[in-house]
Amino acid sequence: MTTVHEPTVPASAADLSVWPASATEPRPGDLAVGGVPLAEIADRFGTPVYVLDEAEVRSRCRTYREAFPNAEVLYAAKAFLCRALVHWMADEGLGLDVCSAGELQLAVTTGFPPERIVLHGNAKSPRDLDTALRLGVGRIVIDSPSEIARLAAAVGPDGHQKVMVRVVPGISAGGHAKIRTGTDDQQFGLSIADGYAQHAIARILDQPQLELTGLHCHLGSQITSVKPYLAAVRRMAGLLSRLHEQHGLVLPELDLGGGHGIAYRPGEEALDLTALARAVRTELAEACAAARLPVPRLIIEPGRAVVGPAGIALYRVLSVKRTGHHVFVAVDGGMGDNPRPALYGVRYAPRLIGRHSTAALAPVTVVGRHCEAGDILAADIELPADLHPGDLLAVPVAGAYHLSMASGYNLVGRPPVIAVRDGIARVLIRRESLEDIRNRDVGL
| pLDDT-derived band at 344, boundaries 50, 70, 90 | confident
- pLDDT on residue 118: 98
- pLDDT on residue 186: 53
- pLDDT on residue 15: 80
Residue 82 catalytic? no
Radius of gyration, alpha carbons of the chain: 23
- Of 53-57, 67-71, 216-220, 315-319, minimum mean pLDDT range: 216-220
Report the pLDDT averaged over residues 53-65.
98
Q: What is the largest CA-CA distance in the chain?
A: 73
- pLDDT on residue 187: 59
What percentage of the chain exceeds 90 in pLDDT?
A: 85
Phi, psi dihedrals of residue 40, rounded to the nearest 5°: -65, -40
Q: What is the pLDDT of residues 366-386, one digit of tens each?
A: 999 999 989 999 999 999 999
Inform me whether the pLDDT recorded for 30 exceeds 70.
Answer: yes
- Exactly one of 61, 82, 217, 371 is catalytic; name it: 371
**Alpha-carbon 397 to chain mean position:** 11
Helix (H) or strand (E) holding 207: none
- pLDDT on residue 194: 84
Listing DSSP states for 315-379 in one string gives EEEEEEEEETTEEEEEES--TTT--HHHHH------EEESS---SPEEEEEEE-SSS-TT-EEEE
Q: Please give the mean pLDDT across all residues of the chain.
A: 92
C-alpha span between 278 and 300 (Å, rounded): 14
What is the topology classification, in CATH, of domain 2-53+309-440? Lyase, Ornithine Decarboxylase; Chain A, domain 1 (2.40.37)
CATH 3.20.20.10 in the chain, residues?
68-302
The CATH number of 68-302, from 3.40.50.1220, 3.40.50.2300, 3.20.20.10, 3.40.50.2000, is 3.20.20.10
Q: What is the pLDDT of residues 102-144, one digit of tens each?
A: 999 999 999 999 999 999 998 899 999 999 999 999 999 999 9
